C-alpha cells in the first residue's frame, strides 16, 4: 500500500498556476489565491488528513484543489503498480492499493465480467471486485435494499445496509454506459439528501463537495 508523501504538492502547484490564468468567478479566484498563499506544511497536513478520511480540519474552499491534486498523483502511482504487488486488505470494502473507501460501485455491462460489481476508489481510481448484495462497509448480506429517485437516472441506485446504516451508490452500465463514478456521484446529490433524511450515511464525502460524512 502506498504511504502519503509530499510529491503531490508539485501537482497542486501546477493546478493552481493553471487555474490562476483562467477566467474564474470571484469566489473561485479567491479560493485559488488563498490556496496559493498557504504554507506547504499546512497543505501537506490537510492532504494527509484527506487521505486518512479526516475532513473536518480542512478548509472547504481549498479542499477541492487538494483532493484533485491528490487524485492525479495517486492515480499515477496506482497505474505504475504491478498487479502481483497489490495487497489483499482485511476489509474487502477498502481499496487494495491505497486503503481508501470507495466512492461508488459499477455494475459492468460487457465481457466475461458482465453483471459483476467493481468498487471505485475515491482517491487512486483503482477498481476491485466485491460480490453483489453485500455491504461494502460491514460485509453484511442481510437488510440490503436499493433506492433511487423517481424521475431521475434509474441507472444510479443506492445500496443501503440496515445493520450499519451506510449506503453506497451503484451505477448500472448496462442502462447507461457513460456513467462516471466521480462526476455522477456528485451529480446525483439529491439521492444523498434523501438517504440522509432517512438516517443513512456514507463513508466518503460527496466528491469535491466535502461535506463531512455524518
> What is the CATH topology of the domain spanning 88-197?
FdhE-like fold (3.90.1670)
Binned at pLDDT 50, 70 and 90, residue 205 comes out as confident
**Looking at residues 203-214, what average pLDDT do you find?**
66
pLDDT digits (tens, 9 = 90+) for 61-71: 899 999 999 99
Instruction: Return the domain boundaries, the chain.
Output: 8-79, 88-197
Binned at pLDDT 50, 70 and 90, residue 188 comes out as very high
Residue 117: how many other CB atoms lie within 10 Å: 22
pLDDT digits (tens, 9 = 90+) for 78-126: 888 776 666 665 667 888 888 888 999 999 998 888 999 999 998 899 9
pLDDT digits (tens, 9 = 90+) for 172-181: 999 999 999 9
3-state class (DSSP) for residue 47: helix
**Looking at residues 181-198, what average pLDDT do you find?**
93
- Per-residue pLDDT, 107: 97
Distances (CA, A) of 22 to 4, 18, 28, 29, 165: 30, 7, 10, 9, 42
- pTM value surpassing 0.85: no
pLDDT digits (tens, 9 = 90+) for 119-148: 999 889 999 999 999 999 999 999 999 999
- Per-residue pLDDT, 70: 92
- Per-residue pLDDT, 2: 53
pLDDT digits (tens, 9 = 90+) for 41-61: 999 999 988 888 788 888 988
**Looking at residues 151-160, what average pLDDT do you find?**
94
User: Which distant-in-sequence residues (6+ apart) come within 8 Å of 95 by Cβ?
Assistant: 89, 101, 102, 119, 121, 123, 124, 126, 128
- Per-residue pLDDT, 83: 66
User: What's the rounded Cα separation, in Å, for the pair 158 and 206?
Assistant: 13
**Looking at residues 182-204, what average pLDDT do you find?**
93
Q: Which helix (H) or strand (E) holds 42?
A: helix 40-51
Between 100 and 18, whose confidence is greater?
18
Binned at pLDDT 50, 70 and 90, residue 213 comes out as very low
- Per-residue pLDDT, 79: 87
Instruction: Identify whether the C-beta of residue 92 lies closer than 8 Å to the C-beta of residue 139.
Output: yes
Amino acid at each position: 500500500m502506498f504511504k502519503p508523501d509530499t510529491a503531490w504538492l508539485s501537482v497542486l502547484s501546477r493546478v493552481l498556476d493553471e487555474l490562476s490564468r483562467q477566467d474564474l468567478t470571484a469566489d473561485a479566484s479567491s479560493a485559488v489565491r488563498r490556496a496559493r498563499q498557504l504554507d506547504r506544511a499546512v497543505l501537506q497536513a490537510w492532504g494527509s488528513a484527506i487521505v486518512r478520511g479526516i475532513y473536518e480540519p480542512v478548509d472547504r474552499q481549498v479542499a477541492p484543489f487538494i483532493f484533485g491534486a491528490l487524485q492525479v498523483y495517486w492515480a499515477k502511482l496506482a497505474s505504475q503498480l504491478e498487479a502481483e504487488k497489490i495487497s489483499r486488505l482485511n476489509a474487502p470494502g477498502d481499496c487494495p492499493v491505497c486503503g481508501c473507501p470507495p466512492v461508488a460501485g459499477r455494475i459492468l455491462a460487457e465481457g466475461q465480467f458482465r453483471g459483476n460489481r467493481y468498487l471505485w476508489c475515491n482517491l487512486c481510481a483503482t477498481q476491485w471486485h466485491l460480490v453483489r448484495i453485500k455491504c461494502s462497509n460491514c460485509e453484511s448480506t442481510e437488510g440490503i435494499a436499493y433506492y433511487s429517485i423517481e424521475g431521475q437516472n434509474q441507472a444510479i441506485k443506492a445500496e443501503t445496509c440496515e445493520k450499519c446504516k451506510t449506503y453506497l451508490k451503484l451505477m448500472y452500465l448496462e442502462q447507461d454506459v457513460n456513467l462516471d463514478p466521480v462526476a455522477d456521484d456528485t451529480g446525483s446529490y439529491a439521492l444523498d439528501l434523501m438517504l440522509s433524511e432517512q438516517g443513512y450515511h456514507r463513508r466518503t464525502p460527496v466528491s469535491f463537495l466535502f461535506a463531512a460524512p455524518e
